[in-house]
Amino acid sequence: MDYLAKETRYDSISYNRCGESGLKLPSVSLGLWHNFGENADYENMRNMCFTAFDHGITHFDLANNYGPPAGSAERNFGKILHKNMNAYRDEMVISTKAGYYMWPGPYGDYGSRKYLTASIDQSLQRMKLDYVDIFYHHRIDPNTPLYETMWALNDIVKSGKALYVGLSNYDGETMLKATQILNDLHCPFVINQNRYSIFDRTIEKNGLLESAISAKKGLIIFSPLAQGLLTNRYLHGIPADSRVRTDGRFLNEKAISKETLEKIQKLDEIAKNRNQTLAQMALSWVYSHAGITSVLIGASKPEQILENLKMAENCRFDKEELSEIDSIAL
C-alpha cells in the first residue's frame, strides 16, 4: 500500500522545544504502549500511524517491552515504517526505552550498562533502524549506581544509536542528580516522561514537575486519561469490552468504585460546559501546565486520534474551573 502524507499536516498543530534544547515535539504525540502487539489488527495499526502523521503528530513513542508480547510493538511499527512511511523518516521523532524486564537471567532488566547496551541494539534490529531520536531509561534502578546508567546512555549517543536521551518514571531529586552527571558528560539529555492526569498528581508531589522546569528539561506525559477513566467509556459503568474486562494489567475493576464513577460524571459536566468531551478536557488540563512539552495519547482506532487532537482548541482554564476540578478529583 502506497502512502502519501497530507500536504496540510503541519497546518494545525503546535510544536514545543524540549526544555532549552533544539528538539521540538508536537503538542500531541502517539504512544504505542497498547494496541500495537501481536494481538492487534495490523491494518488498524497502520491507519492509526497514517492518521497521526497526516495531522502533524511527528512523534511515535515506544519501549522495548511494549506489546504483548514484549518487542512486538517495535516490530510492527518498524514494518509500517519501512513498508509505508520510510520516505518521511527525517520528519519523525521515534523514541524507545529500556528498563523493565525483557529476558531471563541477571542481564535483562533495570539499568546496568550491559542491559541498556544490549537493549538498544535489539530495539534497532526490531524496528530496522540505524538510530532512534530519543532513548530513555525507563525506570529508576535502586541497585545500579546512577553514574553507570547515565554513562551507558551517554555512550549510546556517542555510538550514533540515539540522538538524545530521556528519563522515564524518575522523581525530581533523582532526575536532578542524573542531570548533573549527564551535563558533566556533555550528553544531550532533553526530556522526562512521566504519568500525570487529573487523577494522578504524583509528579507534583515528588518534585519532578518543578525540577524539570528548573533544570530546563522537557516533560512529556503518559496516561493523561488515567488509562481511559477520563473518557466517556465509564460514564455509565464498566462496558463489557473495556480494558478492565479484557486486560486487567494496568486498570482493574477495583479502581473503578462508585465514588470514582461519580467523580467522572461530575468532571464530564465541567467538560460539557467548556464544549469539550471529558477526554479533551483531561488532555487540555495536562497540557495547560507550565513545563509540559507534549501529551502522549494512546488509541485503539484512528477516530480517537482525531478526537483527542481537538484538545488544543481550548487549553485555558479559569481559576473557578481549576478549583472545581481539584475539589472533585482530589
Chain segment 61-108, per-residue pLDDT in tens: 999 999 999 999 999 999 999 999 999 999 999 999 999 999 999 999
pLDDT at 233: 86
* Range 137-151 burial, b when 16+ CB lie within 10 A, else e: bbbbbeebebebbbb
User: Which pLDDT value is given to residue 78?
Assistant: 98
Match 497498547 to its residue by C-alpha cell: 34
% pLDDT > 70, the chain? 94
Question: Which residues, including other chains, have CB under 8 Å from residue 81's CB and lie 6 or more apart?
Answer: 89, 94, 127, 128, 129
pLDDT band per the 50, 70, 90 thresholds, residue 2: confident
- Structural domains for the chain: 15-329 (3.20.20.100)
Q: Once rounded to an integer, what is the mean pLDDT over residues 160-168?
A: 98
pLDDT value of position 247: 56
Q: How high is the mean pLDDT of the chain?
A: 95
pLDDT range class, residue 1, cuts 50, 70, 90: low
Per-residue pLDDT band at 252 (split at 50, 70, 90): low
Mean pLDDT score, 16-23: 98
271, three cell numbers: 467538560
Q: CA geometry: angle at 180 spanning 175 and 186, to 5°?
A: 120
- Average pLDDT on 159-169 reads 98
Q: Is the pTM of this model over 0.85?
A: yes
